[in-house]
Chain A
């Protein structure tokens, strides 16, 4: 691409139509635009971008229409500002125009319309044809000639203080590489930060992967398996219980049958038990009666044995001579002697020998036994009367007792006979142990009841477990489905990661390669301009170091300027190479490119200005050099032979600049 001309119409400071012709010959490829600060040098350079891509990077980006024109507009007036660039690319002539119309409103404000681009080319028949009708078609056509991202390196606005920020170098390199796309791809895929950005492709797929779904699915599956295992156990147990219930019911039926069949025998057995009990009772009663009988004999039979003697006793006693003296019943002579010996009567009266009391008591010795036995005989009669009565009582009582004994014996005999008869009947029957059967029956009934309770519990458990299984299965399917989606997302994430790694590797390799190439070009240019041998190094962070023997130099204003222009030159040269490489050209410089440059030589000495200009003219096919008038002489010395045309920017006032060819 080589520029042929640029034409302004009421565009910013350029009132009316003003044109710069860039057409050069092969040996004279430098166009010089002279202008001091604020004289529109930057406007000229940035107007290419506005024309080609509609992007306004001016200081006041909306001030497209010339201010003088605007001031003269009346309400309802319409004016149009435009830039038209003619260029040649790959042998074809193109005309690119951009217009923007403005209307003055009735309230005195300027209303801009959207800018409109036109792009035509002249075909082999000399006919002018549009490059497209839609914005996209026009953009693509323009981008094929000079990509938007590379515009800044061919249309170099420059830096006012000749400082090169690492940011701008990095950005430049990335743009040249086409790494912006890769960078955007990297950002899009992963984000800029160390951690994966949640807004990036990888971040989105990462966030879509919910590990808890997997865990939950596993947990639900485990729940389902556990419940199924438990269900099997409970179901098995239920079957077991049902079999046991059946067995117990059968056993109970059998026992009931046996007991029903055994009922008569059972009655006999019961009667026998009753007899046995009665027998024990009667035998105890007999033992008691016998004991009573014997005891009665031991205690009371003396009366019986005595009475037969009483006839003779009474006969003997009646022959005995009884005196009238009355003794004291129960007291005999020795007792009286004892009282006298003690000297005290039972009533407490002192019994002193010779006293009346003593003598009164003493006379009883002769009327009491043994001196006087009348009292004893009388007592004996009394006793016999009593014994005769006792004898009758005894006879009655021993007879009663004996009757009781006989009754018991008879009863026992009866019971024993009945028992013998029962035993005989029982011996004929098939005797079973009904008590044992009834005990068994009770035990079986209790077990049956327990088993039925357990079976009910099993049924309840089975229902619960089935519900648990259903719920777990549903949950499992839900989480599994989510989990499968997770796997899909994981796969996408891995794809995105792989693409990211590929892009990143490619990015890094390309960046290193291009940085090295830039480094080489810049070094060559630097040493050409400097006329010495210095090492220039662009490190991975795009810091530019000028070194001697590996040690960085502190850059003075002059060296700084050399460094700056080396970089600019290197950049445009590299950009040209890359452009051709992108277009598939194998030969470097297959296509020609211009460098439109606002060159600030403020801090450069005259020698360096000369060499800088000279070197820049070699790195590009068309050098449009906007310089300050004060630097012009030195520039002219360096590129005198190459200058094709010189324009001067004449500032009429703050709102109007006139472009004049010198």
Chain B
């Protein structure tokens, strides 16, 4: 089952994640940071790899915490699996990766590969957000920066209401 295992931000991502939550106050929990970073990373086409260069306390998210956002996480997972362009993939492959791999107990490697793609976007998203908000020194700064970010996003994606 998807998102039934503990996830740990490590290295610089742990630092970024903690800063975004505790200092910048952008996220309420690591779980929200994980979820929003995933879609932000994918939207901005930014992936990153686990950082093993810095030894810091990991920022862990327990399976029980992930379970509370499982529906949103699975949807984001499906968007990524569906839209992540992969060389040589037919429409049927995209279909299987999106809807079947996570239910196929007989091929766990496929789900693992899929999650690596997903998590690489999470790390990329964390980096984007950290770089965006790292200079915010107050909640007011954070809100202003976030609002700018959202309004730009709305603007850029023509989401006018």
Contact = CB atoms under 8 A, between A and B. Distances in A.
Interface of A: 286-287, 290, 293-295, 297-298, 301-302, 304-309, 312-313, 316-317, 319-320, 332-334, 369-370, 373, 376-377, 380, 383, 391-392, 395-396, 398, 402, 405, 409
Interface string B12-38: 000000000000011111001001100
B94 interface: yes
Interface string B80-102: 00110000000110110011101
B69 to A, nearest CB: 9
B32 A333 contact: no
B28 A302 contact: no
Contact of A305 (B36, B78, B92, B104): B36
Contacts, number: 106
Interface stretch (B3-11, B56-64, B146-154): B146-154
A380 B104 CA distance: 19
Contacts of B114: none
Given A294-B28, A392-B161, A304 B75 contact: no
Interface of B: 25-29, 32, 35-36, 39-40, 42-43, 72, 75-76, 78-79, 82-83, 91-92, 94-95, 98-100, 102-104, 139-140, 142-143, 146-147, 150, 153-154, 157, 159, 161
Interface core residue of A302, A312, A383, A395 (most chain B CB under 10 Å): A302
Interface core residue of A294, A305, A395, A402 (most chain B CB under 10 Å): A305
A302 B150 contact: no
Nearest to B105: A334
Contact of A304 (B32, B79, B153): B153
Nearest to B69: A302
Nearest to A289: B143
A301 B161 CA distance: 15
29 contacts: A286-B140, A287-B139, A293-B147, A294-B143, A297-B26, A297-B36, A302-B36, A302-B39, A302-B72, A302-B76, A305-B40, A306-B75, A308-B157, A308-B159, A309-B39, A309-B79, A316-B83, A316-B94, A320-B91, A320-B92, A320-B95, A333-B103, A334-B103, A370-B99, A383-B75, A391-B159, A395-B154, A395-B159, A396-B161
B75 A308 contact: no
B99 A376 contact: yes
Contacts of A398: 147, 150
Nearest to B99: A373
A308 B43 CA distance: 8
A304 B103 contact: no
B2 to A, nearest CB: 12
B147 A370 contact: no
B159 A405 contact: no
B108 to A, nearest CB: 14
B25 to A, nearest CB: 6
Nearest to A286: B140
B139 A290 contact: yes
A293 B103 contact: no
Given A313-B83, A392-B161, A369 B150 contact: no
Contacts of A302: 35-36, 39, 72, 75-76
A134 to B, nearest CB: 145
Contact of A306 (B27, B28, B79, B92): B79
Nearest to B28: A298
A313 B39 CA distance: 14
A402 B144 CA distance: 8
A486 B33 CA distance: 117
A230 to B, nearest CB: 75
A490 B121 CA distance: 132
Contacts of B72: 302
A301 B37 CA distance: 11
B147 A319 contact: no
A396 B161 CA distance: 8
B42 to A, nearest CB: 8
- 9 cross-chain pairs, A with B, having the tightest CB-CB distances, nearest first: A370-B103, A373-B99, A370-B100, A308-B157, A298-B32, A305-B39, A298-B28, A376-B99, A290-B139
A304 B95 contact: no
A373 B76 contact: no
A251 to B, nearest CB: 50
A138 B42 CA distance: 173
B83 A409 contact: no
A319 B98 CA distance: 14
A301 B36 contact: yes
A294 to B, nearest CB: 6
A332 B2 CA distance: 14
Interface core residue of B25, B29, B143 (most chain A CB under 10 Å): B143
B159 A294 contact: no
A392 B159 CA distance: 8
B103 A402 contact: no
A286 B142 CA distance: 13
Contacts of B43: 305, 308-309
Contacts of B75: 302, 306, 380, 383
A307 to B, nearest CB: 6
B143 A295 contact: no
A370 B104 contact: yes
B150 A373 contact: no
Contacts of A405: 140, 143
Given A290-B140, A313-B82, A313-B83, A307 B159 contact: yes
A309 B153 CA distance: 13
Contact of A369 (B25, B79, B82, B100): B100
Contact of B146 (A293, A309, A312, A373): A293
Nearest to B73: A302
A312 B82 CA distance: 9
Nearest to B39: A305
Contacts of A287: 139
Nearest to B42: A309
A603 to B, nearest CB: 156
Contacts of A293: 143, 146-147
Contacts of A333: 103
B103 A332 contact: yes
Contacts of B102: 370
Contacts of B40: 305
A293 B39 CA distance: 19
A298 B140 contact: no
A593 B142 CA distance: 161
Contacts of B35: 302
B143 A290 contact: yes
A357 B157 CA distance: 51
Nearest to B103: A370
A396 B151 CA distance: 11
Interface core residue of B82, B99, B157 (most chain A CB under 10 Å): B99
Contact of A298 (B36, B83, B100, B142): B36
Given A294-B26, A320-B92, A377-B99, 17 more contacts: A286-B140, A287-B139, A297-B146, A298-B27, A302-B35, A305-B43, A306-B79, A307-B159, A308-B153, A308-B159, A316-B82, A320-B95, A333-B103, A373-B95, A383-B75, A395-B154, A405-B140
B154 A319 contact: no
Interface core residue of B29, B35, B36, B95 (most chain A CB under 10 Å): B95
B91 to A, nearest CB: 5
A319 B89 CA distance: 14
A305 B32 CA distance: 13
Contact of A313 (B28, B79, B92, B154): B79
Nearest to B75: A383
